[in-house]
Amino acid sequence: MPRTEFTARLKASQQLLGTFVKTPTSHASEIFGGAGFDFVVIDEEHAPIDRFTTDQILLGCRANDIAGLVRVPSSAPSAIQSVLDCGASGVLVPHVASVEI
């Protein structure tokens, strides 16, 4: 699903189907895309996934029309920018306690 379609459906509160990916390969994202899932969350916080692997998984997402979100390991701007540079459709930031920086 192209990023714009995913964003529009999310904003419209439409039902979306997704799951977490914790394996450091693109295979899971390709399989979930082929199975009709709308998105996957690549878990950099709790899985052995580095920037190179994230890039590979996101490539698999784009090739199979599935949105790739990334749960980054921290709220550090460099962590967020890194996954956006790789082409993530969105970012989940852990341990956010307030809207203040």
Which residues carry out catalysis?
A: 46
Q: Which residues contact 84 (CB under 8 A, 6 or more apart)?
A: 91
- Integer Cα distance of 66 and 81 in angstroms: 20
What is the H or E stretch that residue 55 is in? helix 51-63
